Structure formats: structure tokens, C-alpha cells
Amino acid sequence: MITRIKRWRVRSALAVLLTAAALVTASGAPAQGVPDDGTSSVRGFLAQYGADEATQDRLLAEYRAGRVWDSMSSSKQPVSTRSFTEADGAYTVGTYADGSIAVTRAEVPDPNVSDRAKGISGCGVSGKVYSNCKIDMWVGLVQMAFRASYNLGTNQVTNAYGAEYTILTACGASPSLNRPAANIARLNVAAQMCALPYATVFWLQLTVSGGSARVSWNDN
């Protein structure tokens, strides 16, 4: 069964040809009856958030050549951002120097939310204790998410569970969600790409420190 994280619409270098690609979802099984190589979904994402056709063509050509989009690392900063609100939350769209795009969402619109807290939504809050938070990222080619609870008073992640992922151009994937340190929860997805005998690891991480929480992914 295909699992899509439709609400979130949010790596290492991918030396992959899209022409032989498939879709891998949280079940780890290839999708059945997918009529295209995944480029239509990527183009749809880019177009929805403002990338013109020429930019889409260039980004896909770079991806096929194994180059990494700026949006694929949280260590890169967007050159522009815009925000808007929909029924399911407040969205921030970041456009990067190469034209790539990343989307984050805060479930409850809050003008005081910091950039470090974006990518975290849906929490139950009691004082400094945050429960059942959705941690997520979406860059068009890759979507990853999990649930976590944490305490800003003690700077600890108390629980992490419910991994979800969608990776275009992968034939198989193996997820691992753990807490490598008391203040960190990290989802790793080891993916085997279709067109070439090539494997890579995508990751999404929650870090709690200094009384705040932040989300990062595949920092270069």
C-alpha cells in the first residue's frame, strides 16, 4: 500500500537516473502500477511552490547528474521565504539559490514560532513537556516524518516512534528510528536506488538543547 504524507507536501548525493525509478513508501515495497518515473510528482511539487518550467528542467538535469539540490540540506539557507496559512496549518516555503524548494509547516499558526521550531507540529504541550509532536521535512524528492515527545526543561527526547517516508527513485528502503543521545531522535532510511547499483542514507533529526528544539536533515 502506498503511504503518502499529503499534509506535508517537505541528502546525500544521488547518482541516479530517474528513467528507471520507482516509488518506495513506508511499507518498504515498490509501488504497483506507477505509470511514470516520478518526475511528474517532483515537477508538481516545484510548480506548486513557484518554480518555473526552466528551473524544473535544470534541477532535474542536475539531479540526474548526481548533484545535490541546496534544499536537500538543512545547513543551507534559503534566499527567500514566504508564508501562508491553509486549513491544516501555517506553511513556510523556502526557495534556495539553485531554485530548489523546501516546505515546513506549523500546525497551529503562531507568529512567534522560531525558525528552529519549524518542521515540528501537532504537539500536546504541558509546561515544557511536548508530546506526540510531528517531526517532518519535504523537498519534493524525499518526504520523511516521525513522532516524538521531548522536555525543554531537561533537554531530553523521551520518545520517538511512527516513522513515515516516501522516496522517489528508490527500489527498496530500510528505516531505523532511534535515540543516539538523550537529546536526539533520528530517523535514518537506507535506500537502494533503482537505475544504478547505488545506495544512500537519508536522515531526519530532532535535537533538543538549550531549552529549544530544532529539526535538521542531511547536513552537508
Give which of 24, 16, 40 is closest to 143, Cα–Cα. 24
- Phi, psi of 172, rounded to the nearest 5 degrees: -160, 155
Tens of pLDDT along 137-169? 887 778 899 999 999 999 999 999 999 998 876
Give the pTM. Answer: 0.66
DSSP state of 39: H
* Grid coordinates of 85: 496559512
Tens of pLDDT along 51-100? 999 999 999 888 777 777 898 887 889 999 998 887 766 788 999 999 99
Whether residue 44 is predicted with pLDDT greater than 60 in this model: the reply is: yes
